[in-house]
Structure 1
Amino acid sequence: MKRLFIYFSFLAMILVFFSYYIIQQISSVPDVISNQDKEIESEVEFKKEAPKEPAITISTATLSAIGDILIHDRVYNPAHIGNNQYDFIPLLLPVQSYLANADITVANQETMIGGVEIGLSSYPSFNSPYEVGDALKKSGVDIVTLANNHTLDRGEKAIQSAIAHWNELDMPYTGSYLSADDQMNIRTIEKNGIIFSFLAYTYGTNGIPVPEDKRYLVNLIEEEMIEQEILKAKELSDVVVVSLHFGNEYQRLPSDEQKEVAYKTANAGADIIIGHHPHVLQPMEWITKEDGKRTFVAYSLGNFLSGQLGDYKDLGGIMQIKVEKTVENDETTITLKDPLFIPTYVSEDYTVYPLNEIEGKEEVYKEISRHMNQWVPNLKFSF
Structure 2
Amino acid sequence: MSLLFAGDAMQHLPQVYSAKTENGYNYDACFHLIKDNIASADIACVNFETVLGGKPYTGYPTFSSPDEFASALKNAGFDIFFLANNHAMDGGQKGLERTINVLDSLQIKHTGTFKSPHERTFRYPLMLIKNGIRIALLNYTYKTNGIPVKKPSMVNFADTFLIKKDLEIARLYKPDIIIANMHWGEEYLTYPTTEQRKMAQFLINNGVRIVVGHHPHVVQPVSVYQKENEPANVVYYSLGNFISNQQHPHADGGMMAEIVIHKTSDEAPVEIQSHTYSFIWVRKYRDEEKTNYVLIPTTFSPKAITPPVSKEEKETMEKFVEHAEKTVRKTVP
Query: Normalized against structure 1, the TM-score is what?
Result: 0.76
Q: Choose 176-185 or 140-149, whichever is displaced more.
A: 176-185
Q: Who is 1:224 aligned against?
A: 161
Spell out, residue by residue over 1:157-206, the C-alpha distance to the aligned partner (whole angstroms, 9 max, x if none).
11111111111111111000121121122222221111112111000011
Given that 2:253 and 2:320 are in contact with CA atoms closer than 8 Å, whether structure 1 keeps it comes out as no
Cα distance in 1 for partners of 2:231, 2:170 equals 18
Q: Who is 2:281 aligned against?
A: 345
1:370 has 2:323 as partner: no
1:161 has 2:98 as partner: yes
Cα distance in 2 for partners of 1:247, 1:130 equals 28
Given that 2:231 and 2:272 are in contact with CA atoms closer than 8 Å, whether structure 1 keeps it comes out as no
| Distance verdict in 2 for CA 1:231–1:347, change over 3 Å | same
1:69 has 2:9 as partner: yes
Higher Rg of the two aligned structures:
1
Letter in 1 for 2:98: S
Runs of at least 4 residues of structure 1 off by over 6 A?
A: none
Q: Who is 2:209 aligned against?
A: 271
1:201 has 2:201 as partner: no
1:336 has 2:281 as partner: no
Partner SS for 1:173? strand
Partner SS for 1:251? coil
1:259 has 2:197 as partner: yes
Q: Whose helix fraction is larger, Structure 1's or Structure 2's?
A: 1
Q: 1:124 aligns with which of 54, 61, 64?
A: 61
The Cα shift of 1:368 comes to 2.2
Letter in 2 for 1:350: Y
Partner SS for 1:197? strand
Letter in 2 for 1:103: D
Count how many residue pairs are aligned between Structure 1 and Structure 2: 307
1:174 has 2:117 as partner: no
The Cα shift of 1:110 comes to 0.7
Partner SS for 1:189? strand
Given that 1:156 and 1:217 are in contact with CA atoms closer than 8 Å, whether structure 2 keeps it comes out as no
Partner SS for 2:220? strand
Letter in 1 for 2:57: L
Q: CA RMSD in A?
A: 1.9
Percent identity (aligned): 33
Cα distance in 1 for partners of 2:26, 2:319 equals 32
Q: Who is 1:284 aligned against?
A: 222
Q: 2:22 aligns with which of 82, 92, 111?
A: 82
Cα distance in 1 for partners of 2:40, 2:220 equals 23
Partner SS for 1:331? coil
Cα distance in 2 for partners of 1:367, 1:94 equals 23
Partner SS for 1:263? helix
1:35-54 alignment to 2 at 5 Å? none
1:242 has 2:185 as partner: no
Given that 1:263 and 1:287 are in contact with CA atoms closer than 8 Å, whether structure 2 keeps it comes out as no
Given that 1:266 and 1:287 are in contact with CA atoms closer than 8 Å, whether structure 2 keeps it comes out as no
> Structure 1: which 5+ residue stretches go unaligned?
1-60, 377-383
1:107 has 2:46 as partner: yes
The Cα shift of 1:238 comes to 1.3
Given that 1:231 and 1:269 are in contact with CA atoms closer than 8 Å, whether structure 2 keeps it comes out as no
Query: Normalized against structure 2, the TM-score is what?
Result: 0.87
The Cα shift of 1:351 comes to 1.2
The Cα shift of 1:102 comes to 1.1
Given that 1:275 and 1:299 are in contact with CA atoms closer than 8 Å, whether structure 2 keeps it comes out as yes
